[in-house]
Structure 1
Amino acid sequence: MSTLSSTSAPRALVTGASSGIGAATVRRLRAEGWAVLATARRADRLEALAAETGCETFPADLTEPADVAALADHVRAGGPLRSLVNNAGGALGTDPVERGNVDEWARMYEVNVLSTLRLTQALLPHLRADGGGDVLVVTSTAAHGTYPGGGGYVAAKHAERMIPATLRLELVGQPVRVIEIAPGMVRTEEFSLNRYHGDAAAAAQVYAGVAEPLLAEDVADAIVWTLTRPAHVNVDTLVIRPRAQASNTVVAREG
């Protein structure tokens, strides 16, 4: 792991930071002067991100309780934490419910829901300790509506959405903001490729004819905007889509 020198800058932990929205968020926060701890499973990707941005890194698999505990210990040892950005997640498959792969449904629940739960539970006391902070969860528009072939991912994201929705009620009056960012169609290098099990042609078809899908940087911009509002301002839920996407099933495609 790499280590960032001590600083009085606000400090954030970003999960799923090896690519896509997570990496873009690390870059944007660092550009804004934040100290950032980036975590993901792939140490080599984290090392490259650290070389580029000067962030701190800690490789971890958030589906492993021991890794979560080790990461939380590292966070606590490093000083105050202003913001926890729960971004790690992903989709697997597009099977209809009737033929849904149960193992993939379970994996999506583990990666999207239980990983967010474990890390949030581990770090909430630390966020409170220095006068408060933020729990931000990156969900999806799949957390707000369904679509054919999306049952497993939709179910996982609906469940993940209930973490910030419930936590906000339970922590009312405490100095902790709870924020949900729900992106729609975002073209990143890996999300659809992973969903289609490495089938690059199928992954590319997701964005075919869409003039301007969102980019990871667009979502990172939204994340950082919510985190940098005055402390009394809580952005409960921010849904962000490309102009070409009106809903999970209605998308303007050229040709």
Structure 2
Amino acid sequence: MDVRGAVAVVTGASSGIGAATALRLHEAGARLVLQGRDGDRLAAIADRTGAIAIRADFAEPGAAEAAAEEIARRAERIDVLVNNAGLGWAGPVTEMSGPDVRRLLEVNLAAPLELTRALLPRLLARPRAAVVFVTSIAGRAGVAGECVYSATKAGVDMFAESLRLELAGTGVRVGVVVPGVVDTAFFARRGRPYQRRSPKPVPAVKVADAVLEAVTTGRAEQYVPRWLRLPTVVRATAPSVYRALSARFGGSS
């Protein structure tokens, strides 16, 4: 798929991976529709890229549905949908409140499902289109202290896999980008900074490059960095070994 002139929707575009993805798609010639919850930062990215800016906080009831309606109204067409918006939360699950759980479910799981469902007819109307989900290694390997976050990302993974099967034979390709530790404000916002010496965080632009590659090649999945595929292979082929290693080295980030 050639993204030059394509209309691309990117969620969570006011900072981090979303902002880097917006800039990368802009450089590649795409026209952008950007969603974010930080109005000032979103406006700055929109000014820089000539994008349509839609301020929405997906944690608010009905926000994803309203955002989908506004996107459909303001975009002349939709060729690419990048579901990137997400929230983190770190700590024992017993310390989470009910609202904490619901917030992660709304932003990380319900919002991308709702946006995709609502905008899919517009994507199917195009000769070629792409839906890309930015998930997390936490949704494939599990992370201590991030039970709910990991569950939401695993849910998005399975939705993407099922959607890929459902759309077989159409012009819409479905891709998943699976990052590990990324150098963004995500960890500070979740309430606990990243404390491990390794692996070292990768720049957000590396994930943005993977998103662009998913769009242009139709590749089903990519890990950033690529070696992150290894623990998922070990988990699938030798689960007892995987669990022993996880218990020894710790899964918390």
- TM norm. shorter chain > 0.5: yes
Which structure 2 residue ranges, 5 or more long, are not aligned? 233-245
Report the CA distance shift for 1:116/1:179 in structure 2 as closer, same or farther (over 3 A).
same
Question: What does 1:188-199 align with in structure 2 at a 5 Å threshold?
Answer: 188=184, 190-196=185-191
Partner of 2:155: 159
Q: Which whole-Å CA distance do the structure 1 matches of 2:45 and 2:205 have between them?
A: 15
Q: Does 1:72 align with 2:69?
A: yes
Q: Note the C-alpha offset of 1:41.
A: 1.6
Partner of 2:222: 238
The amino acid of 1:192's aligned partner reads F
> Which is further off, 212-221 or 237-246?
237-246
Q: Which whole-Å CA distance do the structure 1 matches of 2:229 and 2:67 have between them?
A: 40
Q: Is the 1:16–1:89 Cα contact (8 Å) retained in structure 2?
A: yes
Report the CA distance shift for 1:225/1:209 in structure 2 as closer, same or farther (over 3 A).
same
Partner of 1:83: 80
Report the CA distance shift for 1:66/1:115 in structure 2 as closer, same or farther (over 3 A).
closer
Q: Is the 1:185–1:245 Cα contact (8 Å) retained in structure 2?
A: no
Structure richer in helix, relative to its length? 2
Q: Does 1:134 align with 2:130?
A: yes
Q: Note the C-alpha offset of 1:242.
A: 7.6
> Which is further off, 80-89 or 62-71?
62-71
Partner of 2:206: 218
Q: Is the 1:58–1:71 Cα contact (8 Å) retained in structure 2?
A: no
Q: Which runs of 4+ in 1 moved over 4 A?
A: 242-251
The amino acid of 1:115's aligned partner reads A
Q: Is the 1:185–1:242 Cα contact (8 Å) retained in structure 2?
A: no
3-state DSSP class of the match of 2:36?
coil
Report the CA distance shift for 1:71/1:245 in structure 2 as closer, same or farther (over 3 A).
closer
Partner of 2:100: 104
Partner of 1:52: 48
The amino acid of 2:76's aligned partner reads G
Q: Which whole-Å CA distance do the structure 1 matches of 2:231 and 2:183 have between them?
A: 16
Q: Which whole-Å CA distance do the structure 1 matches of 2:96 and 2:70 have between them?
A: 38
Q: Note the C-alpha offset of 1:116.
A: 0.5
Report the CA distance shift for 1:244/1:159 in structure 2 as closer, same or farther (over 3 A).
closer
Q: Is the 2:35–2:54 Cα contact (8 Å) retained in structure 1?
A: yes
The amino acid of 2:91's aligned partner reads T
The amino acid of 2:6's aligned partner reads P
Q: Which whole-Å CA distance do the structure 1 matches of 2:102 and 2:71 have between them?
A: 28
Partner of 1:5: none
3-state DSSP class of the match of 1:186?
coil
The amino acid of 1:37's aligned partner reads V
Partner of 1:38: 34
Normalised to the residue count of structure 2, the TM-score between the two structures is 0.82
The amino acid of 1:68's aligned partner reads E
Question: What does 1:139-154 align with in structure 2 at a 5 Å threshold?
Answer: 139-154=135-150
Q: Is the 1:92–1:153 Cα contact (8 Å) retained in structure 2?
A: yes
Which structure 1 residue ranges, 5 or more long, are not aligned? 1-7, 197-201
Partner of 1:228: 216
Q: Which whole-Å CA distance do the structure 2 matches of 1:214 and 1:84 have between them?
A: 23
Q: Deviations over 1:79-114 (max 9, x none)?
A: 22110000001111321x454443322211111000
